Structure 1
Amino acid sequence: MCGHSSGAIGFPLRLLAREVYDKVCAMKGEAACALITGEERIEPPNARYFLCTAEAMPRDGGGHAFVALDEAQIAADRERGHIFTDRLLNARGREETMLLGSATLEPMVRALVPDASVEERPRFSVLTHTGSAKLSRLPPRSAIVAFSVEQVYQVAELLRRFRGGAAVVMGALSPQTRNRQVELFQSGEVDYIVATDAIGMGLNLDVRHVAFASLSKFDGVRQRRLRPAEMAQIAGRAGRHQTDGSFGTMAGGGRRGGAPIEFTEDEVFAIEQHRFAPLTKLYWRNPEPRFDSLERLIADLEMRPREEQLKAAPQAIDLAVLKRLHELGEATKGIDNPGLVRRFWETCQLPDFRQHGPEAHARFVARLWSDLRGGHIGADFVAARIGELRNTSGDIDTLQGRLAGIRSWAYICQRPDWVLARDEMAARARAAEAKLSDALHQKLTERFVNRRTAVLMRGMGKDAGLLRVKLEDDDRVTVEGQPIGHLEGFRFVVDDTASNEDRKLMLAAAEKHMPALLAAKAQKLVADELGDQVIAKGALMRGDQKVADLERGKSVLSPRIAMSKDLGALDPVHRSRLEEGLQVWLAEKLAPLAPLKAIEDAAGDPEAGSEVRALLLTLVDRNGTVRREEAGLAHVPKEKRPFLRKLGVFIGSLDVFVPALLKPGPRLLLKALGIDRRPVRESMEAVIEGGKQLPAGYRRAGKQAIRVDMAEKLFRAAHEQRVKAQAAGDKGALGFPVTAALGTSMGLSPDNFRSLMKDAGFRQGQPVELAQGAYGPPRPTPWTWRAPRRDSMKPRGKRPPRSGGKARGQGKPRREDGSRDKRSTQRPAANQPATGKALAGLADLLKN
């Protein structure tokens, strides 16, 4: 439309017309756009683009260059079909006309508009039937469709209790309320939306699954099963663009005629493949009746169509009201000229927003006509009626009734010649509708959305740790701002207003976050009672004052608090609370030692085995670092190495250690607890100056000291160079290069670097001089490697060497990779005779 100089589009819903109006305004400006519906009219003087409901759309197209009719298949609807049929037949644009609708309409269009061209737009995503599912099994981002207000409320109430709530969408809601409820779902505040078949048209939602609570509805005449095309219109809300969707039924949703709610195979095939029976008839009603008299008007409206593709429309509410009032005769007295007949017919066409039926609606129209037949309705009268309806008190049904009444007066105020001060009264009606819509949205949210349960349900997933759990100053515990309980001392108590279902969720949420909650409570209690305190010299200290001693508990890493005698005068209850708070506070402070505590606990695991248990206990005793020759690794089977790695234990060339404990926090804490009496570096630099007693976590490197994990980094880099040289085939006497740049960057001097590498078995050779006459940079100094020592374990199956002699193979030359030269194992020729005499003597001894 925006590609033409002017245009008009007719929509099936006021909500759709408003949505597209906002988009066109953003493109063309508000001065060029008009919105015309039964209850709202925005029509600038120079408007060129008109967004209308089908009923408010000019039946001849209004002389626009472009005209379109959306959801044209509604021409087969019993109530409104004749409106869409008339626009399909008569609304035309000067340059282009588009009829948008289901493929089922194609045969009718080809028959009624022979020169029309048909273009298809297939669905991009796949729609899949998933069968029946209980309410508790419905996936998030689901829409549940029901066909009565009672069933909508029932399902929404169940979702509030078990899933935190749902948005509610019904045709009786005002567009503002419907938009607010949709936003509740779209924003993710709730994961479910319960709706009538109003969801099937005009609502673009982020729905992944559609569940039918029923497959039949009352169509104004009888209770009938939905047609496959109607099912598809609703199920098609699942999935968007290229996102696939699914549909099914809700188990336990109800039965019709004793049969469970299930789709037939034919229905599933039709919906999944999008193949439906074509329409064979469209409803038609004479769009140009004569107004000579009421009798002539009624006769023309009941006229039969001439085209075989058209069928006389069933009696709509406006015709039923006209005939009812004409039969009574009281309201129609004096209607004896075409002007009055036309005006009376326009009054009968007032929509039945209250859904009261022809009888009650006819009485409302009769009262309205009594005011209109003499001219205009007074502004004071209209303002008083609107004022009566803008009251926001009452329950959901009451507010819906008032909204319906306001919509009726909004329609009345939009008529050009019905109300004095029309613009002012229309603005009042819109303001009252907005106010009532906000109140209704609030009531629906209060009844069908339990924000606390919704928050907890989302938190029970993989992101539960990301919930904002907070301990308020009054000891209330909140999750995402929603209260779930409070702390009595250090015991969590669930909110007494919670239902049984909510109590389980709250306890689960509290269990996930209790350590943090108790820590916050203890921190607050300790700070209030004792002020800031620290762990020092194996005790809890507040400045120079000792608050409690840390005595050995079940293990070194689980100390027991012994309160200072100075606090003995405290009330026993208060003292107990304070001691409990200190214990929680201490548990939080000991968190940096969790890796060491995990090793201590693993030592008691039967899966570890005796060999690994010995190593783990040694690590605990040495506070996370032990020299390899003292670790007893030779006794640890290789298949147990993964078990150690899971505990964070690193087996290096010279040391076995836990990298997580080589940080200032754990080292300072071990020192403060009195477990490790060695000096501690507050910053744990990579390289420091050596001394008589090295700090925890360091090993000597000549006159300097290096952190054990940094030393292993140097050894690993050197081994990578050795392996690389071997892979390149360079196994000659020149060895392999080792760069000292990494050690230098850490702060190691060259001499101390060589001393450290020597401990790991690396030896630096002599520099290789360039050949005479050669130019260029010198070749890197070659290094060799020989395993420094084996893990502490006597070799099995071999005898120890004789005293005063050498073990077999000892002193024999080795290759650079450490293996012995087999050629050197042969004895010298001079020793052969002595060996022969010894064997002969042994033979004589055996004979004797």
Structure 2
Amino acid sequence: TAIVAFSASQVYAIAELIRRERGGAAVVMGALSPRTRNAQVDMYQNGDVDFLVATDAIGMGLNLDVKHVAFADDRKFDGHQTRPLTPAEFGQIAGRAGRHMHNGTFGVTGNATEFDEELIVQLETHDFEPVKVLQWRNSDLDFSSLAALSGSLDTVPEKKQLTRVPIATDQQALEFLSRNEAAGLATSRKAVELLWQCCGIPDYRNISPAQHGEIITRVYTDLIRRTRVNEDWIAEQVRFCDNVSGDIDTLSNRIRQIRTWTFVANRRNWLADPTHWREKTRDIEDRLSDALHERLTQRFVDRRTSVLMRHLRDKHMVSPEVNDRGEVSLEGHLIGSIEGFRFTLARSDDGDSKNLRAAASQVVAPEILKRAERLSGAPNEEFVLATDGTVRWRGEVVANLAEGDQLLTPRLIVLADEALTGPELERVQDRLNLWLRHTVNTQLETIMQLAEPADLDGTARGIAFQLSEHLGLLPRSAVADDVKGLDQDVRAKMRKLGVKFGAYHIYVPLSLKPAPRELALILWALKNGGVRQPGVSDLPQIVLSGRTSFLIDPEVNPKLYEVAGFKVAGKRAVRVDILERLADIIRPLIALDP
């Protein structure tokens, strides 16, 4: 698709929008050098970008394969005024689509006025009003004097089908030179012819007639007085242009300037060493053109988005690469990163557009499905539950633990993008659920069997159930009366289940090991304030270190210390089994005290 606008600012605005939404566009304007225009068009023709944004210079020496032409406006500035495009001008531009290779289409962009039916018919049938008047300028010029030359340029056509052209830049330059020192040098026919040749130096920069006239005056006076343009002056002008740094406007201006000196260098007998200056100016123009192409590409083409869009169209393109860090690259461009089943788009200066994110998600979807298949068959050893409630698979977060109906039956929430749905998501959920049940049943086995003990009934069964509800650690004072009613046979049965009757606690010693305590802390926190509350992540480290007592943190819920296997005594927390051991030592000593 080619989008045609009629000002540089409009072209830039449209190209910026396309860059954000669709990866970028090639830019073609009459102010660009031929080399830059061709380089931009090559990007479009090679499929690097799908859009070409151009002024009506779209047809300047370019052979394009355009399927659709969209008009961004129906008015243009023709150098004198802003006016509506004529049907013939619409037809000339719309005719860039299709050509002889295939049928093309035309239309408007969202902000442009829709074509009326009459104009559409004219464009489709190529039926326009006949041209009744042609512009004309006298080519039989009189070089006998400046006045005669000026008069011959003002000659009015004799035929009514012709009208004199508006004053061109060369005639404006002639009028300027006729009023300054150059006029005094044009004293012969040959000198007048030379002056007219100098007036033909193009005003590539579109500067004022006076500024352009000053340049022509200097060239002409040097040619008359020295027979050659002063090389030191030329060198100074060329040196000013020989700089490939700067933004688009700066480079464009330098290209326009160097093209002036390229034109001068190609004039016969104007320079002492024309070959040197032709090569010099051409080299500078080429380097400036390449730099401008690079700046245009940097500004209006997001290579990452572009390659994503092409990948969606061409299913035969190489698959994205995913490295050990989860970074996703496509044809050398960093697209983003995958953790588990979630894709994060790499940061962009433009912000993330919905289209870009959607395209990237489609590209990485096959990789996410592959991961789902691998996880479905993964062994238990590859899964880890962190104290913050996240479940990691091979080091990457794939799910969050959430509270369930019961303390010992938590549930898992799979963290996945929309790419993972249906049966694939169900298989992942089922595998994670199976692992979670195994983990809880294994780590808290002694606690789980107390929930419904087969060999206990009555009061003993109630105490066992409370022990399971309190994750294997129950203050004796909470069930003191019930415990007094237990006979030794029942107590023996409970001891076989791993229960120990201490002076201050009834507990399951095996459940006080680091792994069961960490899981117990997580499960309790899910039901009581969340896993991110103070203490949940720190207490497992203390348990693992083997410390038997430490100063408590006033910010931590005291109940967490109990769940971790500690008794809060004043400002310290003491491990329950150590406290009970100390009680066992003290009790007989108290009995012996007279």
Same fold (TM over 0.5): yes
Once residues 312 and 288 of structure 1 are traced to their aligned partners in structure 2, the CA distance between those partners, rounded to angstroms, is 14
- Show the 5 A alignment for 1:336-735: 336-374=187-225, 375-461=227-313, 463=314, 466=317, 468-488=319-339, 491-497=342-348, 499-502=350-353, 505-506=356-357, 509-510=360-361, 512-514=363-365, 516=367, 561-563=379-381, 577=392
- Counterpart in the other structure of 2:404: none
Distance 1:286 1:163, change over 3 A: same
Q: 1:227 aligns with which of 80, 86, 100?
A: 86
DSSP-derived class of the 1:144 partner: strand
1:11-58 Cα offsets, whole Å, 9 max, x none, are xxxxxxxxxxxxxxxxxxxxxxxxxxxxxxxxxxxxxxxxxxxxxxxx
DSSP-derived class of the 2:52 partner: strand
Paired amino acid for 2:304: R
1:674-730 Cα offsets, whole Å, 9 max, x none, are xxxxxxxxxxxxxxxxxxxxxxxxxxxxxxxxxxxxxxxxxxxxxxxxxxxxxxxxx
DSSP-derived class of the 2:21 partner: helix
Once residues 234 and 143 of structure 1 are traced to their aligned partners in structure 2, the CA distance between those partners, rounded to angstroms, is 10
Once residues 103 and 150 of structure 2 are traced to their aligned partners in structure 1, the CA distance between those partners, rounded to angstroms, is 50
How far is the alpha carbon of 1:522 from its aligned partner?
Answer: 11
Cα pair 1:390 1:432 within 8 Å, conserved: yes
Distance 1:499 1:321, change over 3 A: closer
1:542-565 Cα offsets, whole Å, 9 max, x none, are xxxxxxxxxxxxxxxx6774339x
Paired amino acid for 1:148: S
Q: Which has the higher contact order (CA 8 A, sep 6+)?
A: 2
Distance 1:379 1:237, change over 3 A: same
- Counterpart in the other structure of 2:105: 246
Is structure 2 residue 124 aligned with structure 1 residue 272?
yes
Paired amino acid for 1:158: L
Once residues 571 and 270 of structure 1 are traced to their aligned partners in structure 2, the CA distance between those partners, rounded to angstroms, is 71
Paired amino acid for 2:125: Q
DSSP-derived class of the 1:430 partner: helix
Cα pair 1:563 1:579 within 8 Å, conserved: no
Distance 1:350 1:581, change over 3 A: closer
Cα pair 1:471 1:517 within 8 Å, conserved: no
Once residues 192 and 509 of structure 1 are traced to their aligned partners in structure 2, the CA distance between those partners, rounded to angstroms, is 19
How far is the alpha carbon of 1:334 from its aligned partner?
Answer: 3.1
How far is the alpha carbon of 1:454 from its aligned partner?
Answer: 1.7
How far is the alpha carbon of 1:355 from its aligned partner?
Answer: 1.4
Cα pair 1:522 1:581 within 8 Å, conserved: no
How far is the alpha carbon of 1:516 from its aligned partner?
Answer: 2.5
Once residues 248 and 571 of structure 1 are traced to their aligned partners in structure 2, the CA distance between those partners, rounded to angstroms, is 58
Cα pair 2:339 2:397 within 8 Å, conserved: no
Once residues 487 and 267 of structure 1 are traced to their aligned partners in structure 2, the CA distance between those partners, rounded to angstroms, is 52
Once residues 61 and 231 of structure 2 are traced to their aligned partners in structure 1, the CA distance between those partners, rounded to angstroms, is 35
Q: 1:206 aligns with which of 59, 65, 90?
A: 65
- Show the 5 A alignment for 1:293-372: 293-327=145-179, 329-372=180-223
What TM-score results when the alignment is normalised by the length of structure 2?
0.62
DSSP-derived class of the 2:178 partner: helix
Distance 1:577 1:358, change over 3 A: same
How far is the alpha carbon of 1:232 from its aligned partner?
Answer: 0.8
1:435-465 Cα offsets, whole Å, 9 max, x none, are 111001001111111111122233445x458
1:795-818 Cα offsets, whole Å, 9 max, x none, are xxxxxxxxxxxxxxxxxxxxxxxx
DSSP-derived class of the 2:202 partner: coil
Paired amino acid for 1:477: V
Cα pair 2:3 2:69 within 8 Å, conserved: yes
1:341-373 Cα offsets, whole Å, 9 max, x none, are 111111111111111242332222223333222
Cα pair 1:165 1:450 within 8 Å, conserved: yes
Distance 1:481 1:560, change over 3 A: closer
Cα pair 1:389 1:406 within 8 Å, conserved: yes
Paired amino acid for 2:237: R
How far is the alpha carbon of 1:520 from its aligned partner?
Answer: 7.5
DSSP-derived class of the 2:93 partner: helix
Once residues 391 and 318 of structure 2 are traced to their aligned partners in structure 1, the CA distance between those partners, rounded to angstroms, is 31
Cα pair 1:284 1:311 within 8 Å, conserved: yes
1:47-89 Cα offsets, whole Å, 9 max, x none, are xxxxxxxxxxxxxxxxxxxxxxxxxxxxxxxxxxxxxxxxxxx
1:547-600 Cα offsets, whole Å, 9 max, x none, are xxxxxxxxxxx6774339xx99x9989x9645567999xxxxxxxxxxxx99x9
DSSP-derived class of the 2:2 partner: strand
Is structure 2 residue 26 aligned with structure 1 residue 174?
no
Once residues 80 and 155 of structure 2 are traced to their aligned partners in structure 1, the CA distance between those partners, rounded to angstroms, is 21
How far is the alpha carbon of 1:167 from its aligned partner?
Answer: 0.5
Paired amino acid for 2:21: F
DSSP-derived class of the 1:492 partner: strand
How far is the alpha carbon of 1:264 from its aligned partner?
Answer: 3.3
Once residues 467 and 559 of structure 1 are traced to their aligned partners in structure 2, the CA distance between those partners, rounded to angstroms, is 27
- Counterpart in the other structure of 1:292: 144
DSSP-derived class of the 1:563 partner: helix
Cα pair 1:162 1:501 within 8 Å, conserved: no
Distance 1:330 1:459, change over 3 A: same
DSSP-derived class of the 1:185 partner: helix
Runs of 5+ in structure 2 lacking a partner? 400-422, 428-594
DSSP-derived class of the 1:194 partner: strand
Distance 1:559 1:157, change over 3 A: closer
Runs of 5+ in structure 1 lacking a partner? 1-141, 254-260, 527-557, 585-596, 602-848
Distance 1:395 1:453, change over 3 A: same
Q: Which has the higher helix share?
A: 2
How far is the alpha carbon of 1:316 from its aligned partner?
Answer: 0.9
What TM-score results when the alignment is normalised by the length of structure 1?
0.44
Once residues 246 and 60 of structure 2 are traced to their aligned partners in structure 1, the CA distance between those partners, rounded to angstroms, is 30
